[in-house]
Structure 1
Amino acid sequence: NAACEGFFGRLKTEMFYPGDWRSTSIAEFVEVLNAYVRWYNEKRIKGSLGYLSPIEYRESLGLTT
């Protein structure tokens, strides 16, 4: 549960709160949200992974196809 709470807290802080969503359609919001989740899962640099992105870390372990 703590991991989920941490993710959603970070999502709100980094993506949601800084934006002005009043004129944004649901489809546009879903597109922005999808882009954020994709960035979070694939490209962000993480110190606990040796300052690699999750994709780079998996590749370094030989876990990608």
Structure 2
Amino acid sequence: MSGERLKGLIEHWIEHNEEHRARLLEEAEEAEKLGLKTVSERLRKAAESLGEASKWLGEALKAFNQ
């Protein structure tokens, strides 16, 4: 695999994570409306974890320029 291909994959993963993160937050709101507080909390935690993963993927992208 080339460095450019890997860079492209990382960019894709960041975008993909952000799409899933947004969806998880939407569903967390729905779960809360349904009175499913614990489900809502867990979905928010999952969204937070995806945000953290995206942060580290972003750091990996920065490393290409160092």
Scaled to the shorter chain, the TM-score interval is 0.3 to 0.5
Larger Rg: 2
TM-score, length of structure 1 as denominator length: 0.38
Q: Which has the higher contact order (CA 8 A, sep 6+)?
A: 2
